[in-house]
A = this chain, B = another copy of it.
């Protein structure tokens, strides 16, 4: 997404594709230890056969490697439920720039013996070391999954629906995604999908994953009754069989695909405080006027993560100039993040300063100098050009 794994100039590519072995799996604790080149989908299948799930799931699961997931601190669809890889990764084996093998591949849930060195390598995009093996905690597989697709009259109601959802669904809530009316128009227009509820300014997808099918359906029914009665939601539909769940998820998951049919796309992946999450979309519509074809907002609302996209017939430097640095400055003004889950890579490394103070950039530079003094690990990436 940000060119973190794309060679730019004179890099040598190291592939871990042949390091694809599961080293151990413990079927009581759910701890999986595997080599870095294991494909996420293969691992998912392996642990699901044993009654567990991987704590992360991504669109790219069919091709991405677990080592890369950890190196980029991947977020994805299960983040709301199982949290960050910083909590679920238990251990790593890493090769340092000087060739030293740092073996921190423990499988312990708790280990307070000194500094937690593995954290240095999670999310550092390969710039501090090469991850060669991963130990990760897998949660038990939920026996029931349900999805509700809802229409909301305004963004304030979307937020209130989220609040009600957390209170009434609690521990079984596994996703809370939103999209605006423009997104729905896009998936209709370009992909021929149809809206399963009454037309609304906003749509919400709620997923539950739990251990009691009857209980979970009952909780979801009660929640739906509550949000409909109170006017937070104007219309809603439920899905519990696999086909319908997939159909409802497609409305949200295929937005990226629909966008690419709409013209040139300017993409932003922002973390913002929940109450201001959608304000930038309105601001930009007013700012850009007819110079943009469409300004749309959707994303992982439960995680405070907005995917903001602007389309136009073709690329235009003047439109880009109206968008940037405005979008980054706006985000910085809310103490948001200019890269919620995609990282910095090659393309975003120079906007880091909008989300991190100079003292942090300085410490990043010092850590890079300590661990990779010759700058041989994923050069030209992650660290700003001038700091």
Contact = CB atoms under 8 A, between A and B. Distances in A.
Interface of A: 26-30, 51, 72-73, 75, 79, 83-84, 86-88, 96, 100-104, 106-117, 119-120, 122-124, 128, 140, 142-143, 159, 162-163, 166-172, 209-212, 215, 218-219, 271-275, 300, 303-305, 335-344, 348, 352, 355-357, 359-361, 363-364, 366-367, 370, 382-383
A278 to B, nearest CB: 13
Contact of A274 (B26, B73, B100, B172): B26
B108 A359 contact: no
B359 A109 contact: no
Given A30-B166, A110-B303, A111-B340, 9 more contacts: A29-B304, A51-B167, A73-B112, A83-B88, A102-B363, A111-B339, A114-B352, A140-B170, A171-B210
Contacts of A356: 104, 113-114
A318 B323 CA distance: 73
Given A172-B171, A212-B215, A360 B26 contact: no
A271 B344 contact: no
B211 A109 contact: no
B87 A211 contact: no
Contact of A340 (B104, B110, B119, B348): B110
Given A117-B363, A171-B211, A109 B370 contact: no
A296 B358 CA distance: 52
Contacts of A113: 337-339, 344, 348, 352, 355-356
Contacts of A103: 357, 359-360
A360 B104 contact: yes
10 smallest A-B Cβ distances: which pairs? A87-B87, A170-B211, A119-B119, A108-B271, A111-B337, A113-B355, A110-B340, A171-B171, A215-B215, A83-B87
A272 to B, nearest CB: 8
A348 B355 CA distance: 38
A165 to B, nearest CB: 10
State the main secondary structure of chain A at its contact with B: loop
A210 B169 CA distance: 9
Most chain B beta-carbon neighbours within 10 Å: one of A27, A29, A108: A108
A102 B362 CA distance: 10
A179 to B, nearest CB: 18
Contacts of A51: 167
Contact of A26 (B26, B273, B339): B273
A120 to B, nearest CB: 7
